[in-house]
Amino acid sequence: MTRALFIIDVQNDFTEGGSLGVHGGAAVAAGISRYLAANPGRYDSVFASRDWHSATGDNGGHFASTEAPDFVTTWPVHCVAGTTGAEYHPQLATSGVTVHVRKGQGKPAYSIFEGLTDDGETVPAALDSRGVDEIDVVGIATDYCVLASALGARAAGRRVRVFTDLVAGVDAASSAAALEQLAAADVALEHS
């Protein structure tokens, strides 16, 4: 069996002080780094995704432009390509990342499966070429991109675990609902 880790959107704009920061985001970044340091060689591949939105336009309606964001389908401007907000959080150790994925280029994108690797490969193709059949998922935000990415991995036929101590969500109630939805989809919810 070949195992991969998905690190979802641990970016400056999604952590405290960012334009769409979630409570606990910096702790998740540091926790993932500690986890990787304590488990060298555990993963055959480590994928890390980032929102990488276009600087112009509303990115397919993803950015609120004429009204206040609803924080469900429209959001404040965040993770614009090439900005500090789009970079990985400084407490996230990225030296072990083997596959970088950018998503949301000009359109809404929540799942890592909607992105492309730096080599222009789709995530399913990257998983297939590496023979990945098990995926552990960590990152931000539990109720949006972590949820969509873990469900995408299940839909792609992989066995999936989400480490609940290494995720942070936008809202407590929607994060709890997301975890229930993941459990119902046969995603294992575990502590790292």
Which tens digits make up the pLDDT trace of 104-120? 988 889 999 999 999 99
* pLDDT tens per residue, range 10-32: 999 999 999 999 999 999 999 99
Q: The domain containing residue 100 runs over which residues?
A: 3-190
Residues labelled catalytic: 9, 103, 145
Which pLDDT tens digit goes with each residue over 56-72? 888 788 888 778 888 88
- 111, 101 contact by CB (below 8 A): no
Question: For the chain, what is the domain count?
Answer: 1
- Quick one: tokens of 57? 């336009």
d(CA 11, CA 39): 22
Q: What percent of the chain has pLDDT over 90?
A: 84
Residue ranges for the chain with pLDDT beneath 70: none
Q: What is the CATH number of the domain that holds 14?
A: 3.40.50.850
- Can you state the angle between helices 147-155 and 172-184, rounded to 10 degrees? 10
62/69 Cα distance (integer angstroms): 9
Whose CA is closest to 25, among 46, 37, 9, 36?
A: 9
